Amino acid sequence: MSQLLEVSGISVSFDGFKAINNLSFSIGHAEMRAIIGPNGAGKTTFMDIVTGKTKPDEGSVLWGDLSRNLIGMNEAKIARIGIGRKFQRPTVFEDQSVFDNLMIAVRNDRSPLAVLFFRPKTKDNDKVHELASTIGLSQELMRKSGELSHGQKQWLEIGMLLAQDPKLLLVDEPAAGMTLGEREHTTDILKEAAKTRAVVVIEHDMEFIRRLDCKVTVLHEGSVLAEGALDHVTKNQDVIDVYLGR
Ligand code: ADP
């Protein structure tokens, strides 16, 4: 698998504390990857660095054909070149319908009001319906987003991110607060998304990760502690000591 993202020797300190410590690993094109590790391991900081929110003290993050270094690029530019990020709490326009939320994302409008004033193009309409089908919300298109369940809001936000066609989607704890059925549907959505783009998921729920059926990277103290199939890393004594056995 050719590489899409190559993190190489990155370190970052906050007030002298090394949150990321010489971290190196890569993600392939259209690869699904889970990142696990104890609280404070550096998982969120890793995503902050890739999306340009935090600048590392050293190291590089190479992208695409690995000729571009993302370090130093601002967040807006990094989003434009194809990196989407989903935070834990869903952020959708609660007063607008599911359809309008998806349309806003498809058209990449800064103002949600714009969809009220311009007739959508047919191709944008088709794209909204296609996205709604991918996230399983075709029956909910006319509902106000604020009325959706927690799980449905999460799917809607994933749909809004997919509307931008990112090459890499970073997802932070998607299963948190979901029912078992919602978690299963979420893995299906992410697996579908990963057919055409890389998807990196931070998650603590081992059953969820098992269903993702992907390579797992275990972070600890800002570095990679172990990497491989879930069954492989969960048998690693270091991983049991710092994460699973507690
Ligand atoms: P994780 O997501 O794996 O729980 P984080 O990346 O959030 O870990 O945090 C790694 C370490 O860096 C933690 O000890 C955290 O307290 C620290 N940290 C993260 N961001 C900041 C910040 N902006 N200022 C100070 N310390 C931070």
102 alpha carbon to ligand 1 midpoint, in Å?
32
CA of 48 to the centre of ligand 1 (A): 10
Kind of pairing between the strands at 215-220 and 223-228: antiparallel
- DSSP classification of residue 208: H
Residue to mutate (ligand 1; options 11, 39, 44, 242; most atoms within 8 A of CB): 44
Q: Residue 116 has what pLDDT?
A: 60
Structure confidence at residue 110 (pLDDT): 56
DSSP class per residue in 24-90? EEEEETT-EEEEE--TTSSHHHHHHHHTTSS--SEEEEEETTTTEE-TT--HHHHHHTTEEEE-SS-
Q: Whose CA is nearest to atom 13 of ligand 1?
A: 40
Report the nearest-CA residue for atom 22 of ligand 1: 14
Cβ atoms of 135 and 143 closer than 8 Å: no
Q: Taking the C-alpha atoms of 68, 72, 75 and 80 in order, what is their torsion angle to the nearest 10 degrees? A: -30
Ligand 1 centroid–CA 139 distance in Å is: 40
Query: Ligand 1 pocket by C-beta < 6 Å: which residues?
Result: 14, 19, 37, 39-45
Closest ligand 1 atom to the C-alpha of 41?
3
Longest Cα–Cα distance of the chain, Å, equals 59
Whole-number pLDDT of residue 1: 67
Residue to probe by mutation, ligand 1, list 10, 13, 14, 85, most atoms within 8 Å of CB: 14
Query: Is residue 115 predicted with pLDDT exceeding 70?
Result: no
- Counting from 1 in the atom list of ligand 1, the atom nearest the Cα of 222 is 10
Q: How confident is the model at residue 87 (pLDDT cuts 50, 70, 90)?
A: confident
What ipTM was estimated for this complex?
0.95
Place of tokens 């936000």: 157
User: From CA 147, how far away is CA 94, in angstroms rounded?
Assistant: 8
pLDDT in tens, 61-76: 999 877 889 999 999 9
- CA-closest residue to ligand 1 atom 14: 40
Q: Provide the CATH number for the domain around residue 119.
A: 3.40.50.300
Pairing, β 198-202 against β 215-220: unpaired
Domain of 191 in residue numbering reads as: 5-244
Per-residue pLDDT, 113: 62
Which residues lie closer than 8 Å to 96 by C-beta, 6 or more apart? 104, 112, 115, 144, 145
Could you give the percent of the chain with pLDDT greater than 90? 85
Number of domains in the chain: 1
